[in-house]
Amino acid sequence: DQQVKQNSPSLSVQEGRISILNCDYTNSMFDYFLWYKKYPAEGPTFLISISSIKDKNEDGRFTVFLNKSAKHLSLHIVPSQPGDSAVYFCAASEETSGSRLTFGEGTQLTVNP
Partner 1 sequence: DTGVSQDPRHKITKRGQNVTFRCDPISEHNRLYWYRQTLGQGPEFLTYFQNEAQLEKSRLLSDRFSAERPKGSFSTLEIQRTEQGDSAMYLCASSHAGTGKTEAFFGQGTRLTVV
Residue ranges binding partner 1 (CB under 8 A) = 4, 32, 34, 36, 41-46, 49, 89, 91, 93, 95, 97-106
Residue 42 neighbours by CB under 8 Å, 6+ apart: none
Looking at the Cβ atoms of 28 and 51, the one nearer to partner 1 is: 51
Residue 9 to residue 50: CA distance in whole angstroms: 23
Looking at the Cβ atoms of 43 and 113, the one nearer to partner 1 is: 43
Looking at the Cβ atoms of 2 and 14, the one nearer to partner 1 is: 2
Decide if 62 contacts 55 (C-beta within 8 A): no
Nearest to 76 by CA among 92, 88, 93, 91: 88
User: CB of residue 91 vs partner 1: minimum separation in angstroms?
Assistant: 8
User: CB of residue 110 vs partner 1: minimum separation in angstroms?
Assistant: 16
User: CB of residue 15 vs partner 1: minimum separation in angstroms?
Assistant: 26
DSSP-based three-state secondary structure for 59: strand
User: CB of residue 77 vs partner 1: minimum separation in angstroms?
Assistant: 18
Looking at the Cβ atoms of 80 and 106, the one nearer to partner 1 is: 106
CB-neighbour burial class of residue 91 (10 A; exposed 0-12, middle 13-18, buried 19+): buried
